[in-house]
Every structure is written in C-alpha cells, then in structure tokens.
Amino acid sequence: MFSKVLIANRGEIAVRIMRACEELGIATVAVYSELDRDAVHVKRADEAYLLGPGPATESYLVIDKLIDAVHRSEAEAVHPGYGFLAENAAFVSALEQAGITFVGPPASAIEAMGSKTRARELMAKAGVPIVPGTTEHVVTIEDARKVIADTIGYPVAVKAAGGGGGKGFRVALDESKLEEAFEGAAREGEKFFSDSTVYLERYLPDPRHVEVQVLADTHGNVIHLGERDCSLQRRHQKLIEESPAPVVDDELRARIGKIATEAAAAVSYTGAGTIEGLLQDGEYFFLEMNTRVQVEHCVTEMVTGIDIVKEGIRVAAGEPLSISQDEVVLRGHSIECRINAEDASKNFAPAPGTIGAYTEPGGPGVRVDSGVGPGSEISPMYDPMVAKLIVWDVDREQATARMLRALSEYEIENLKTLIPFHTAILQTRQWHDAETCRDLIEDRSWLKQLAFPKAEKPAGDGDGETAPEPVEQSYTVEVSGKRFDVKVIGPPPAAAGAFNGAAPAGSEGGMATRRAPRRSGRSGAGSGGGGDTLSSPLQGTVLKVAVEKGAAVEEGALVCVIEAMKMENEITAHKAGTVAELPIAVGASVATGDTLAVISSAGE
C-alpha cells in the first residue's frame, strides 16, 4: 500500500479522498490555488502545496505544477477525483513517465472512452447494446440526411464526438430542424473539445438515466455494485441521484450489470468507473463510460456498504478488490441531493458568496460530504457544488422523509443554495411516483412551493468581540509554496494583517473571524428585495440580450445569457416592470455586481 498520496483536486471530493486515505493509513498531500489558501481541503491534509493563481488553468489544470508538487512531497501516487485532470489521458501518460502511480484506469482506457464514437464502435464489437445510430463521424449534413432516412429515422439526437455529459447534444424532431441541430452540436464540440465532429443516435423520447458502478482490479476481477438513477437533471446537470433505481428489479439489475462489466473489460479497465446508459421500456442502451469516481458514488456506497474510493486506491496499489460479485448485496435505499451555491428561483444562476454560520445535519442514516465550513468563500471561479447530502433508509419513501428532515436541519447562512429547491421537488407527486421528471424542472411548477429563506440575522452579532486575549496564536505561512502551520506564543498582534495578511488558522479558537461584510440592500425574502436594479450574479461575457430598453417584462423572463466558466447562465428578471435601463450588449464583459438592467415597476 502507498504511504503518501497527492490529491489533485479541491472541495468536497478532495476531503472525501483524504478520509479514505486516512482510514488506509496513507499520508495526504493537498494542492491549492491562491483562492483556496484557507479552504477546508488544505487544512485537512498532512501537507499542502501552492499551485498558482485562482484560475484552474493556472493551478489545478497545470500538469507540470502537479508533478512538481508530487516530487517535492515524495508522494507515490496521485488521486485526481472528478473534473479537472481526472479524464485527461495526457496527464496519466505524464505521470507514468515520471514513475508516479495514477489512481484510476490506464491512459488507453481513458482514451478509448473519451471519443464517444470510438467507444460506441468498441462497445458494439464487444456485444454491448448501444443506442441505434452511427459509430462513425457524420461529416456533412447530406450524409446525416441519408443515414437518418436509411436507418435511424426521426427524432434524432446529434451529439459531439468529443462530448459527454450532454455537452454538444442537440435534438432534431424532424428534417426541418436537422441543420440547426447539426450545426449547434458541431459548434459546441469545437468550442469545448476542439473537435467539431458529430455522430447520430435515435432520440429516445422519455428514457431514464441509469448508470452502473463498476470496480476492476489488475488481477482480472471486474464487478458491479448495482445501479443509480440520475434522471433528475437540469440541462444535463444531475441534481438528485438515488440507488437502487426505482424501476430496476433483480433480473434487470443482473442484465445491466453484465453489460457494464463487459463494457469495462472490453477496454481493460481498472479502478472505479461508471457505465452510463438509457433505460427505455425495459431496454438498456450504453451511452458513455465515465472513467473516474463520480459525484454520486455515495448512494452506491450507502446501499452496498462498499467504500468505492478505498477500493480504487487498493486497486491502484496492485491489490485485488476486497470483495467478489457474490458478496455485493444491496440493502435499503439511498438518495443524494447536490447542495449547489445556486439560486433555483433565478434559473439556477450561480450564487457565490461567503458562508456565515454553518451547521450540517446529522442523526441516523445521514451523510454529508462537504468541502466547506463557517466562513468559507464560494468563488464563482469553481464548481458551485459545495456539498452533498446523502441519506439512507430501508425504502424509498422513508429515505425521502429522512432527506426532507435532513434538508431542514441544514443551515448555511448568507449563501443561496439548492436546499429549498430539493425540499420542493421531494414533495412533488412526480418524485413520489418516480416519474422521469422530464418536464418537472422546466415547467417550474415546483417554484410555487419554494420555501422562503430565513431572514438574515442583523449584522454585528458580536462574534469574537469579547473573546479573551489568547496567549497562543496559530498562523499559516507559505514557504516557497509549501504550507506550514505555525504557533506563536505571546501577546496577540494588534490587528489582523500581520504576516502578510495571512488569516489566523483555526480562527474558531477565539479570535475574531474576518467575515465579509453582509450585503445590505437585499432585505426580506431575498427575491430581488424590491430594488429595480438587476445585478450580475457572476463575472462573464454577455452572449445574448433577450430584452429591449422600454420593453415590458414579467418576473422570471429571460433578460440575458452570460457565459462564465464555459457555462451559459440565463439571467431572468427579478421583478415585473419596464426595462428602464439596459447597459449591456452582446460580447461585453460583466463583473459580479454590475448592473445588467434596471426594471421599473409599472406606474412609476
């Protein structure tokens, strides 16, 4: 087994991996960006190394900097988590060349599954059922018309070959919509993956997203841990996941489990991976393989009792899996809600900010995987998912009740999160009946049920002001990019800001915590507060302006689309009225807090 592992990630997944390492007796090494100096994952690790400035392209995505941190820390292996470099074959090859073990599959398996057309071809050859369509690129629209006419038929899904997770995915219901779909998918493929090639699939009208967890070792063992249902998505972002899938019985589970292990074996897979597929009328079709540990792995852990992250580390160290297929038993039901810093009532706009008071739920059957705590800053620069709330109970109905109880216990002050959204969704009839939720989120009927957020406490609640004078003070210092915690014994410094402004480590310990000033002018229930100004919740580029100056808008109407972090964010009117000012144009850059529009109420 390894003695030291570097975790090339941040947030909740970095903490999750560190927990597994600690249980295996492995020392942990964190890496961090300048924005993450005080992040939970950094404090948690045994050692930490600075990578660079905030943008991931200057920190978490820089292969050379990561390899340098591995050498300096003398870690033997790197765990990539999900996102960032987790599915980057070039990273895995670079580690291989440097003699560092990658906790994950071989580069060849990542590459094989990275190209969706290649994956479809390989799977078809291995006898794995794929969604009917092409296994080769469709170069021109004329070619597309011909294949559709000859074999696939309408409606058709046009997907980018470099895609996955819904990026570069368009649907053409009939021939008149084909050109738009074809060009849209190609454009998105070029933008996100520098690959404009597309392929075609029959569009399944109302499938369930069912994925199978697999584990494989280097001794030829490939097993599956049952399935997860991730049908509740918004624009291809999963929001709620559960295991087992409500519509999968033992017979179907054995069938899709066999499909999944055969798919993994076909690419000589090792480690933890997921076969994503669509289930329609009892038929299962391979969609793609995710060659990493996924966000939603926790629900499988809850119903199987198997620690997927630990198994992945064991396999990377050359050990055999600790369980065989016969020993995998599903028990009860587990649900996961993603706790994102997003405002569901504003079209899921990112809602970065600084957390005030913070209390995680507890009690029987409740698990929280988080990467934040009181005072944590949620930057618009990274993934908005700050935590996952996972519950287990004996069946789906009781797990739902337990989740609602846990959501009500979760207190995250000063930050808009999806907690009210989850609370509303889990009380709908559609959730109760385990419907596919196809239109549930888009039709916004759940909006009516959104609970009003608790009113903010008045500022200046005196935290720390009367704290006794400490005689022992901890600081964090960085020496040549390596992080050290130091203890200074003596009278406290006169003001914060000593040591180049480093914040006292463990500031829970009595000293005043530096809290960001509470935002004023945002009173009441938080739905815009009655002001006319619609401010940008994020930094980005205006892609589209959907209203004109002088126009009347309804509350919730689309005002503009802002691209940030390669995501398109719809910004909607916070109130009904007339667009009095509109100081934005397509292509313009906007900063967080900039005025996008001024909407004056009718009659003003």
- Least Cβ distance, residue 134 to ligand MV4 (angstroms): 12
Question: Considering the rule CB under 6 A, would residue 236 count as an interface residue with ligand MV4?
Answer: yes
Residue 16's nearest CA partner among 103, 100, 89 is 103
Q: How many CA atoms lie within 13 A of 581 on its CB side?
A: 10
Establish if 247 lies at the interface with ligand MV4 (CB under 6 A). Answer: no
Cis peptide bond prior to 468, omega within 30° of 0: no
The reply to whether 440 sits near ligand MV4 by the rule CB under 6 A is no
Q: Which is nearer to ligand MV4, 165 or 380 (CB)?
A: 165
Helix (H) or strand (E) holding 120: helix 116-125
Q: Do 400 and 335 touch, CB atoms closer than 8 A?
A: yes
CB of 208 to ligand MV4, least distance (A): 6
| CB closer to ligand MV4, 131 vs 584 | 131
Does residue 157 bind ligand MV4 (CB under 6 A)? yes
Cis before 453 (ω within 30): no
135 binds ligand MV4 per the rule CB under 6 A: no
DSSP structure class, residue 507: G
Show Cβ contacts of residue 30 under 8 Å, excluding neighbours closer than 6 positions: 6, 7, 14, 18, 41, 42, 44, 45, 47, 48, 49
Contacts of 415 (CB under 8 A, 6+ apart): 341, 351, 353, 354, 355, 356, 378, 386
Residue (428 or 513) nearer to ligand MV4, CB: 428
**Which residue lies nearer to ligand MV4 by CB, 120 or 346?**
120
Residues 337-376 that bind ligand MV4 (CB under 6 A): none
Q: Does 166 bind ligand MV4 (CB under 6 A)?
A: yes
Task: Give the C-alpha separation, 273 to 109, whole Å.
Answer: 11
CB-CB contact of 248 with 257 (8 Å): no
Task: Report whether 438 contacts 206 (CB < 8 A).
Answer: yes
Query: Hey, what are 266's tokens?
Result: 């076909």
Verify binding: residue 231, ligand MV4, rule CB under 6 A. yes
Choose which of 131, 341, 441, 505 interacts with ligand MV4 (CB under 6 A).
131
Does position 301 interact with ligand MV4 (CB under 6 A)? The reply is no
3-class secondary structure per residue, 318-329: CCCCCCCHHHCC
Tell me whether residue 173 or residue 586 sits nearer to ligand MV4 (CB atom): 173
Stretch that binds ligand MV4, among 162-170, 174-182, 185-193, 440-448 (CB under 6 A): 162-170
Binder of ligand MV4 out of 170, 209, 292, 310 (CB under 6 A): 209
Pick the binder of ligand MV4 from 2, 49, 60, 169 (CB under 6 A). 169
Give me the least distance between CB of 82 and ligand MV4, in Å please: 15
Q: What minimum distance in Å lies between the beta carbon of 348 and ligand MV4?
A: 15
Coil/strand/helix, residue 75: coil
Q: How far is the CB of 236 from ligand MV4 (least distance, A)?
A: 4
What one-character DSSP code corresponds to residue 57? Answer: G
Q: Can residue 264 be called a binding residue for ligand MV4 (CB under 6 A)?
A: no
Q: Which stretch binds ligand MV4 (CB under 6 A): 186-194, 197-205, 379-387, 540-548?
A: 197-205
Contact positions with ligand MV4 (CB under 6 A) in 477-496: none
Say how many Å lie between the first and final Cα of the chain, rounded: 71
Q: Is 56 helix (H, G, I), strand (E, B) or coil?
A: helix
Q: Which stretch binds ligand MV4 (CB under 6 A): 34-42, 231-239, 449-457, 509-517?
A: 231-239
Rounded to a whole number of angstroms, the minimum distance from the CB of residue 173 to ligand MV4 is 12
- Interaction between residue 199 and ligand MV4 (CB under 6 A): no
204: contact with ligand MV4 by CB under 6 A: yes
Minimum separation from the CB atom of position 337 to ligand MV4 (A): 17
Structure tokens at 267: 């690419």
The answer to whether 430 contacts ligand MV4 (rule: CB under 6 A) is no
Size of the site for ligand MV4 (CB under 6 A): 16
Distance, CA of 268 to CA of 275 (rounded, Å): 14
Point out which span in 191-199, 203-211, 351-359, 362-370 binds ligand MV4 (CB under 6 A). 203-211
| Largest Cα–Cα separation, the chain | 82
Using rule CB under 6 A, residue 233 touches ligand MV4: yes
Strand partners, 461: none
- Interacting positions 270-289 with ligand MV4 (CB under 6 A): 278
Q: What is the 3-class SS of 200-266, one letter each residue?
A: EEECCCCCEEEEEEEEECCCCCEEEEEEEEEEEEECCEEEEEEECCCCCCHHHHHHHHHHHHHHHHH
Q: Give 94 or 160: the residue with its C-beta nearer to ligand MV4.
A: 160
Shortest spacing between CB 233 and ligand MV4, in angstroms: 5
Among 38, 87, 201, 217, the residue binding ligand MV4 under the rule CB under 6 A is 201
Q: Is 207 in the site for ligand MV4 (CB under 6 A)?
A: yes
Which residues lie closer than 8 Å to 304 by C-beta, 6 or more apart? 225, 226, 328, 329, 330, 331
Q: Is 48 in the site for ligand MV4 (CB under 6 A)?
A: no
Which residues contribute to the site for ligand MV4 (CB under 6 A)?
131, 157, 165-166, 169, 201-204, 207-209, 231, 233, 236, 278
